[in-house]
Chains A and B, each alone.
Chain A
Amino acid sequence: MTSAALLDRILPTVAKPGRYSGHEWNSVRKDWAQVKVRVALAYPDVYEVGMSNLGLAILYDLLNQQPDVLAERVYAPWLDMEKAMRQAGLPLFSLESRRPIRDFDILGFSLQYELNYSNVLNMLDLAGIPVLASQRDERLPLVIAGGTCTYNAEPLADFFDLFVIGEGEEVLLELVRLYAEWKGSQGAALSHGEGRTRHAGALAGGKEEFLQQAAQIPGVYVPSLYRVAYQADGTVASIEPLKAGIPTRIQKRIVPVLPPPPVRPVVPFLNVVHDRGMVEIMRGCTRGCRFCQAGMIYRPVRERPLEEVLAAVDRLLANTGYEEIALVSLSSTDYTCIAPLVRELSQRYGEQHLAISLPSLRIDTFSVELAQWIQRARKTGLTFAPEAGSERLRQVINKGVTEEDLLRTAEAAYASGWLRIKLYFMIGLPTEMMEDVLAIAHLVKEVRDIGRRWRGSRAQVSVSVATFIPKAHTPFQWLPMENAEQITARQEALRRALPSRAVDLSWSDPMTAWLEAVLSRGDRRLGKVILRAWQLGARFDAWAEAFQPRLWQQAFAEAGLDAGFYATRQRSFDEVLPWSHIHTGVSAAFLWEEYQRSLRGESSVDCRAGCLGCGVRVAFNLDRCPSTIENDVKRIPKTSAAPGKEGGVASACGFPATE
């Protein structure tokens, strides 16, 4: 165990030592001697970011509910802490028991962002664990990962023993059970209390055998059991299992019905990024925006019954004391019962000054109404994402929002007392021309004028412009990212076209976008680039104060690989994509068809309005898709274009309409 005296020497010298001291409310400290499998759940970014991740909170809760399993947490130590730890020879430790991470059976990373990859290697190294999977045997923890990035985890294939593709609630338990059995049969006894007993050489071959068994679990991907062959031009020729009995394709896992949400999450002392209670009200999104990876990979839509949400909020508040609750989903305004839910929550908890937040507001006046119920007092800002400036381009990306929608929404917001509207856009979208970029400026001016009309000079518009990055498993997965010169030219043009008064503009960093683009659609050969960049000192690439793009450029040069091959190359339908053995249930044919429709400027309907046959329904053998509350209550007719609006829905949601 990490000695308290050593920590007492180090912690006073680093920023925010509370990141490393644990003991938070609801953190779970189990007796190591009483469990069979010990899992360290890791997030490769600082505490404040990692603690805001709902996925890890779900798995922490789930694993600790198993009597013979324990889960503890670990986050990436910030630069100052890393330096102090290396100087003191202090290995990476868990927050709960402060044991070295090396003593755990399984080390599971949540991978949500490509710019965290260098931190994964750094955390392994700080733990005293060789970064290459091929250099680790069964005496070291099994290093696994889940999360969005594992839908194309090829660039990380060298470093992980296995990936869990899709929703982890069932498959992680299956994996842990298998591990417990294997550990028992191998006699890989752990000495209780003081960590792992080392039987050098006694278990040779054991890990390989385990990995072969694990590969039989649906949703588990063991990269070392596959061989990737390349064409002369550098594209992938084939991805094949190395031996018989290993599945040729890995289909993501889903849970057909959402399990009950965690209601006893760890309450951080530190002010973390999302410092509030979270209840997932819906998984998946029916909108079908063509650029959106989450919208494609998290299908099908499943809504949580209203009663279950209300009960969860009640228990969550009692167990945490949070003053704010977030109703989490990819598109919370689309939740069938959102209006009755929000109204009920504000009635129940208004006295206790509970704040409610909806992380994703649809662009319509209904969203403004909702926001009004939620926002009782100070009206700071409302955020909307039109994504593209012109009507044409919004059709291309299937963001079904018209200029009129946005202006009416802005009007409703300013008229109801808001002072600031924040708008998210992307540039570099497929088929984008300069006139589409300038249309952003036009739209922003219109919104600002509406603001002035209602709120005078106090009205503000914030504009945030990201660079579009084509992602794996989306209709745009074959497309090149726009090249850097074009992006710069368009940013420049937009900056000049936007009024500077009352408009506040922010960009995403172009080099950050470049690296994300490269890594997100990379193949296995990028493993040596990631390794080299880390060796050169890359850390916390997601943080402007730490990101050093030249380290990555040097790593690419040394590896003899061209980053442009991954980021800015058009792929053909016939190309074997590096992630083609990973199946989300959405068929490549559907993605290609959506891509072709986008080129023709054709939009596609919301799945709530009609099934487009994306493949998910068949792949998972679903009776109902999307699985909405409305569908549950024998198809109550929609009353308007905005689902969830008061009307017939109220009875589906189990509340009498009170107005």
Chain B
Amino acid sequence: MVQRLRITFAKGDEVKYISHLDLMRAWERALRRGQIPLAYSQGFNPRPRLFFASALPVGFTSRAEVLDVILQQRMGLREFASRVRKQLPAGLELKSVAEIPPTLPAPSAQVVAAEYEVVVESQDALHDMQARLDKLLAASSIPRRRERPNRVREYDLRPLIQKLWIIGQRQGAYVLGMRLQADEGGTGRPDEVMAALGLTDAVRVIERVDLVLKPL
């Protein structure tokens, strides 16, 4: 392991329907096109060593995804960024890159929470919307069911909501903010929060705006 880089990137509208696995492959190929000296895993089927902090559900955009890349040869950060930017498909945008100590844990082990912005259509007056949010936050538990392909999972959404607030209001729509737990103890989904608010059908955009990493 010669150099470890931490990238933050945006996943825009153009690629929001691309699954996490497909996104990983898109990154691998972009890095190969940029002739980045990637380090590969050992074993039968060597893979480039890329580590994503958190899978983003299909359909959401993000401006704060985190990816660690291991290089087998050192590169300047400026050079890295300029080569990679030229090779990224529309909708993927490299926002920053920094060198980090190789000994840090994988970024997925550092994530503790994620912040989202949700655009939702609503004719509610401001105080009605606020009341809706307050009511949800006041609940001691929010039982939810999630249908999985082969099972139904029942869980309590309430403890996963750390914050929920109104960011702004414009032309029949609100922008809501929420900070949801995202660690081994559980991961909150913003679409589940919107469902609990009774607003599923009015949701227009869900964007991840921050991944909160545990300081080390």
Segment at the B interface, from A11-19, A49-57, A637-645:
A11-19
> Which residue of B has the minimal Cβ distance to A267?
B29
Q: Are B18 and A18 within 8 A (Cβ)?
A: yes
* B interface list, Cβ under 8 A from A: 13-19, 21-23, 25-26, 28-33, 40, 43-46, 58-59, 87, 89-91, 204
Q: Are B59 and A378 within 8 A (Cβ)?
A: no
Known: A23-B89, A270-B22. A4 touches B32 (CB 8 A): no
Residues of B within 8 A of A16 (CB): 19
CA distance A318 to B36 in the complex (A): 12
Q: Are B17 and A377 within 8 A (Cβ)?
A: no
Known: A17-B17, A18-B19. A378 touches B44 (CB 8 A): yes
Q: Are A352 and B32 within 8 A (Cβ)?
A: yes
Q: In the complex, which residues 460-501 of chain A have their Cβ closer than 8 Å to any Cβ of chain B?
A: none
Partner of B18, one of A12, A21, A322: A21
CA distance A318 to B45 in the complex (A): 22
Residues of A within 8 A of B13 (CB): 4
9 smallest CB-CB distances across A and B, nearest first, come from A321-B29, A321-B32, A378-B44, A17-B17, A321-B33, A23-B14, A21-B17, A269-B22, A12-B59
**A397 shortest CB reach to chain B, Å:** 37
**A139 shortest CB reach to chain B, Å:** 32
**B156 shortest CB reach to chain A, Å:** 25
CA distance A321 to B46 in the complex (A): 16
Q: Are A269 and B44 within 8 A (Cβ)?
A: no
* A209 touches B (CB below 8 Å): no
Interface mask (A513-539 → B, CB under 8 Å = 1, otherwise 0): 000000000000000000000000000
CA distance A24 to B91 in the complex (A): 10
Residues of A within 8 A of B40 (CB): 353
* A320 touches B (CB below 8 Å): yes
Q: Are B59 and A269 within 8 A (Cβ)?
A: no
**A36 shortest CB reach to chain B, Å:** 26
Residues of A within 8 A of B90 (CB): 23
Q: Are A322 and B29 within 8 A (Cβ)?
A: yes
Known: A17-B17, A353-B40. A23 touches B91 (CB 8 A): yes
* A25 touches B (CB below 8 Å): yes
**B209 shortest CB reach to chain A, Å:** 19
CA distance A23 to B19 in the complex (A): 14
**A336 shortest CB reach to chain B, Å:** 30
Q: Are B18 and A269 within 8 A (Cβ)?
A: yes
* A323 touches B (CB below 8 Å): yes
Q: Are B30 and A23 within 8 A (Cβ)?
A: no
**A326 shortest CB reach to chain B, Å:** 16
- Supply 11 further A-B pairs (C-beta < 8 A) apart from A269-B89, A378-B45: A8-B204, A18-B22, A21-B17, A24-B89, A25-B89, A267-B29, A269-B26, A270-B22, A319-B33, A353-B46, A377-B44
> Which residue of B has the minimal Cβ distance to A270?
B22
Instruction: Give the most central of A12, A16, A20, A352: most B CB within 10 Å.
Output: A12
CA distance A267 to B31 in the complex (A): 14
* A interface list, Cβ under 8 A from B: 4-5, 8, 11-12, 16-18, 20-25, 267, 269-271, 317-323, 352-353, 377-378
Q: Are A323 and B17 within 8 A (Cβ)?
A: no
**A522 shortest CB reach to chain B, Å:** 39
Residues of B within 8 A of A323 (CB): 28-29, 32
CA distance A20 to B15 in the complex (A): 11
The contact sample of 11 A-B pairs, CB cut-off 8 A, is A8-B204, A12-B58, A21-B15, A23-B89, A23-B90, A267-B29, A269-B26, A320-B33, A321-B33, A323-B28, A377-B46
> Which residue of A has the minimal Cβ distance to B87?
A321
**A81 shortest CB reach to chain B, Å:** 12
Residues of B within 8 A of A317 (CB): 32
CA distance A16 to B21 in the complex (A): 12
Residues of A within 8 A of B30 (CB): 25, 321
Residues of B within 8 A of A17 (CB): 17, 58-59
Partner of B59, one of A4, A11, A353: A11
CA distance A20 to B22 in the complex (A): 14
Residues of B within 8 A of A21 (CB): 14-18
Residues of A within 8 A of B22 (CB): 18, 269-271
CA distance A20 to B59 in the complex (A): 13
Residues of A within 8 A of B32 (CB): 317, 321-323, 352
CA distance A418 to B15 in the complex (A): 40
Residues of A within 8 A of B87 (CB): 321
Partner of A377, one of B23, B26, B45, B59: B45
CA distance A323 to B46 in the complex (A): 11
Residues of B within 8 A of A4 (CB): 13
Residues of B within 8 A of A319 (CB): 33
CA distance A16 to B19 in the complex (A): 8
> Which residue of A has the minimal Cβ distance to B58?
A17
